[in-house]
Amino acid sequence: MNLEQLKQLKEKAQKQIALREGGKKYRVVVSMGTSGIASGAREVMKTMLDEIEKRGLDDVEVHVTGEHGLEDIEPVVLVEEAGGEKTTYAQLDTEKAKKIVAEHLQKGRKVDNLAVGKQKKTE
Amino acid sequence: MFEELSQHILDIAMNSLSANAKQVQISILESRKHDWLVLRVRDDGRGMDAATLKRVLTNHWSSKPQRRKPVGLGLALLQQTSEMCGGHFHVQSAPGRGTSVTASMRLSHIDRPPLGDLNTTILALCATDKKMDVQLNYRSDGQKFSFDSRELATKG
């Protein structure tokens, strides 16, 4: 175990805790059940956090939840826009995750070819 | 199925979240001297009765129909990893008294998965909606590290 890496944890966790405070334009929810973790949801989450930080996006919050009941198409990430659409992205990997941050979260353009299902309005 | 022990830890601790735990304590002991690696995930969630515990531990992956919700799969997987690596696996739980999962393995065992990206596991647990407190205690022969999400929350 590399203790040096662990020492960065406190700083990163501080930012992470700040990221779940609410009231942001975009709310990203990563499904982190057994099948999600097994298919790479944790790596997808890490990539999104890194990209959000790299791009300095401060109107995004990131949350983790249990199973979405979509275990056949994990990793699954839900992007909710405040007062707007909910988009479900499925079968993600780290490259697709970067694309979602760059397009949807930064430029506000939904990545249609990665999205699944019908659009839903946020209540 | 999981390549890293830190993925197992995340999975088990997500069970704690589902059990409405307010706090989850993760401890990792890594001793080259004694050739053991011991993981423990303890929570103050709703706990399980003996029958439920027995059921979640016997529901192995191979025996499950594919589309049914794999309840308890994660525990069975960790048990498998632990026993395959010359260790022991133990779950202590009772309704209203939380759950404690302990898995040991031989540090030098050829099949032992690496701990892997523990940082991201802890970050993910800090990002849950239910605001569960997360503690980590890591100890090896000569080193120690501890983390407590409550310390961070008060500063922010």
Residue to substitute from B152, B154, B155, interface A, most A β-carbons within 10 A: B152
By DSSP bridging, strand B99-106 and strand B89-93 are antiparallel
User: Which pLDDT belongs to residue A88?
Assistant: 95
By residue range, what is the domain housing residue A65? 11-115
Task: Indicate the pTM of the whole model.
Answer: 0.90
Please list the helix, strand and coil fractions of chain A in percent, rounded to the nearest 5, in that order. Answer: 45, 25, 30
User: Which pLDDT belongs to residue B59?
Assistant: 60
Closest CA–CA distance from residue B49 to any residue of chain A (Å): 22
A2 assigned to some structural domain: no
- Nearest Cα to Cα of residue B19 among B42, B45, B43, B44: B45
For the cut 80, the answer to whether the pLDDT of residue B72 exceeds it is: no
Both structure tokens of A15: 């930012």
**Number of domains into which chain A is organized:** 1
Q: What is the ipTM score, two decimals?
A: 0.87
A3 assigned to some structural domain: no
User: Which pLDDT belongs to residue B71?
Assistant: 52
User: Which pLDDT belongs to residue B153?
Assistant: 64
* CATH code at position B133: 3.30.565.10
Q: What value does the mean pLDDT take over residues B9-24?
A: 95
B126 to chain A: which residues are within 8 Å by CB?
Answer: 13, 16-17, 20
By residue range, what is the domain housing residue B75? 5-155
A122 assigned to some structural domain: no
Instruction: Tell me the pLDDT band of A123, cut-offs 50, 70 and 90.
Output: very low
User: Which pLDDT belongs to residue A2?
Assistant: 64
- Nearest Cα to Cα of residue B75 among B53, B96, B97, B95: B53
A6 contacts B124? CB cut-off 8 A: no
**Number of domains into which chain B is organized:** 1
pLDDT tens-digit map of A6-23: 778 888 888 777 766 678
B2 to chain A: which residues are within 8 Å by CB?
Answer: 37-38
User: Which pLDDT belongs to residue A93?
Assistant: 97
A30 to chain B: which residues are within 8 Å by CB?
Answer: 124, 127
Instruction: Give the 3-state secondary structure of residue B25.
Output: strand
Percent residues over pLDDT 70 in chain B: 88
**Residue B76 backbone phi and psi in degrees, to 5:** -65, -35
* CATH code at position A51: 3.40.30.10
Rounded CA gap, A64 and B127, in Å? 5
pLDDT tens-digit map of A31-52: 999 889 999 999 999 999 999 9
User: Which residues of B sit within 8 Å Cβ distance of A?
Assistant: 1-2, 7, 10-11, 14, 17-18, 28, 30, 67, 69-70, 73-74, 77, 115, 117-129, 131, 136, 138, 140, 143, 145, 147, 149, 152-153, 155-156
Which has more confidence, B65 or B94? Answer: B94
Instruction: Tell me the pLDDT band of A110, cut-offs 50, 70 and 90.
Output: very high
Cα Rg of chain A (Å, integer): 14
A5 assigned to some structural domain: no
A38 assigned to some structural domain: yes
Percent residues over pLDDT 90 in chain A: 63
Asked whether B156 and B149 are in contact (CB, 8 A), the reply is: no
A120 assigned to some structural domain: no
